[in-house]
Amino acid sequence: MVSKNIEDALNNQIRIEAESSQIYLAMACWAEVKGLEGVSNFMYAQSDEEREHMLKLVKFVNERGGHAKISELKAPNVTFKSIKEMFEKLFDHEVFVSQSINELVHISLQEKDYATHNFLQWYVAEQIEEEAVARTILDKINMIGDDKGGLYLFDRDIENLTVTTAATNTPA
């Protein structure tokens, strides 16, 4: 059984993951109408991934005897001054999500809920990867600067972007 405190914290994370999906969906739409097909496809995939993260939490809460709650979401920002601003907001949001996951881990340890702690380790590793991807993208955008040709190539290549992190890299 999951405690009421952990259930509430997990339900808050469910809302955060759902809002993440919406934020990235809004980013995908913005990029698509700007003609950035690669970026929009990347963001649509990110939106889907965040929804999967939410559903994983929903199932976990329900399986542990709690009740996953689906709540109202804040409307995401739908316009950006530039592709750089959009990805800066993405990075900032991923840092926020990491902080939220870390708080969940802290609560699970305080309550000696080792099943939840173990379950959350996947999210900890996932956030390391999410932040690394966002940081890599920002580095590339900063290299491009205002070069339209560079933006064209970036838009074409982003769908194939892979970032290996210490958390995801398995030893040989």
Its pTM stands at: 0.90
- How many other CB atoms are found less than 10 A from the CB of residue 85? 13
In this predicted structure, what is the pLDDT of residue 172? Answer: 47
Q: Would you state the pLDDT for residue 167?
A: 67
d(CA 147, CA 141): 10
Q: Which pair of tokens denotes residue 141?
A: 């955008």
* 8-state DSSP, 75: P
pLDDT value at residue 162 = 66
Instruction: Using 70 as the pLDDT threshold, list the residues of the chain that sit under it.
Output: 162-172
